[in-house]
A and B are shown apart, each in its own frame.
Chain A
Amino acid sequence: MAGMERAIDAEHLRRVYPKGGLFRRRGDTVAVDDISFHVPRGTVFGLLGPNGAGKTTTIKMLSTLLIPTAGWARVAGFDVVRQDRAVRRHLGVVLGGDRGLYGKLSARANLQYFGNLYGMTTDSIRRRTGEMLELVGLTERADDRVERFSRGMKQRLHLTKALLHDPPILILDEPTIGLDPAAAIDLRRAIAALVPRHSVLLTTHDMHEADQLCREIAIVDRGRVVAQGTPAELKSRVSGARRVVIETHETLNGRALEVERAIGALEPVRSVSIRPEDRGANLTILCDDTARTLDDTLSLLRRYPATIRTVTVIEPTLEDVFLSVAGRSFE
């Protein structure tokens, strides 16, 4: 593991679900068509995509719950099909949702049980259980039955369970789903703190979450990776989405054309349009670099009788990225 550059390698993963029963086949569902990506060690990597894109299916293949129909994957350097036990040992998984924990057992008993299943010694189980419960703030409820926990508490307990045996790699399926904004922020902070000690693969359909947390993102749609890169790289690929909108108090009577020409001549600007409004004017500028455009435009406007009412800078979001690569909007 020490020399490993990549925590997870996925190459041309494909997964087809047979429809119908065990014996009667009625066509297939292609959940994952062809997905390849690599998670560098010590980073957070995001799979971003709409409902039904194949994120969970991909994760199940990586975590040995499903066998790929084609392609292969390695987790911590171990093949997910042939070396499944080794993979499980090096992996912590949060499948999320309401299920996956024993409702009739307390939080502590759940963790102790799973600790045993991961082969930990009694000593380390006791110590880690205490530490982890403390970390996610469940110490006070540790001896309550899990069935009485709220969604958010269960989700935190899921994370605790996944971290219990201190795996080098974590896979999180929509970790913040169903959490209130404050709890989601807490959990995101906890995830961000996992690197570089751990490597994390997470799925989400929350753009901001992906943007905030992930070093790299693969955007998945209909079982395929449609774009991949750092959030900044991805966003830089979308053209026409970067805008600066300035509203002035003056109407720029008669000089609108002159202003338009002057702004249009600025280097990062692609196009500009000026529209008179009720009391003032609206300048919408499409550009490649919002910071420089803003700077230059503001100093240019100082030469005219134009007092500025509002300034809006619009950077492309991952939503725009999805729109541009998938040809339709998200969800």
Chain B
Amino acid sequence: MADISTSAVVPPRAAGSLAASGAKRRRDARLRQRLNMAVGLVSIPLFLLLWQLIAQAKIVNPILFPAPTVVARAAMEWVASGEFAQDLAASLKRVATGYVVGSIVGVGCGLLTGRSAFFSGLLGPLFQVLRPIPPIAFVSIVILWFGLSESGKVFLIVWGVFFTVWLSTHLGVQKVDQGLVRAAQMLGTPRRRLVGEVVLLSALPFIVVGLRTAVGISFYTLVAAELAGAFAGIFYRIQLAQQNMQTGLVFAGLAALGLISFIADRCFAMLAQRLVWWR
């Protein structure tokens, strides 16, 4: 009994006595954090170094697997010739147009089918059947419909973006908190303003997830779109380089695609935080 210590026996703590152990904890945490960051920074250089060593050791065919230095040279020439800027502009324009159109139509249809059982019944099954068809499967028919025009390429990206945005909006609208709708109604919100005042904002976190997924999808679909015959564009350049056996340029093109969609995704993530500001 007597050896059970209670808080009454613990002497009062001197002011500031926690500071030392607190500082040590913070130091350790900061050190660990820096170490992890450092590992993250060397990840890509390490990979490139390994690749360079393998390429220089001639273990693999250097034409098929060009060293990073070769790829870098090809990339620099691509930029210097001015073709990179043209290709980038052409690709970005397609992606942006398709993305914006697909998203607007997707959100609109999602609001319609999410709010109304009639439209959900009318359009839901149709969309669910069309949704799993990969946009690339439409390349041949798109060429027949649109020829080599830009609208065909934009159409493919719209197609890719639309279903994801539609589905996430539809689900978000269906999950809208009916309690909030009732709160809005008792405050005198007219029916026609419920969507703008409550439904859209309630569903926004879902919609934003769909919009972000659609950013990635729009870049996949870009490849399909430029397969449908183009005169400029990142993937167009990759195809051209492949036909000329310029493997350095092929890799530079791939790296560019990866980098651009990565940057687009990062930008969207930042935007998303502002879009759902109350979270």
Bound pair: A and B? Answer: no
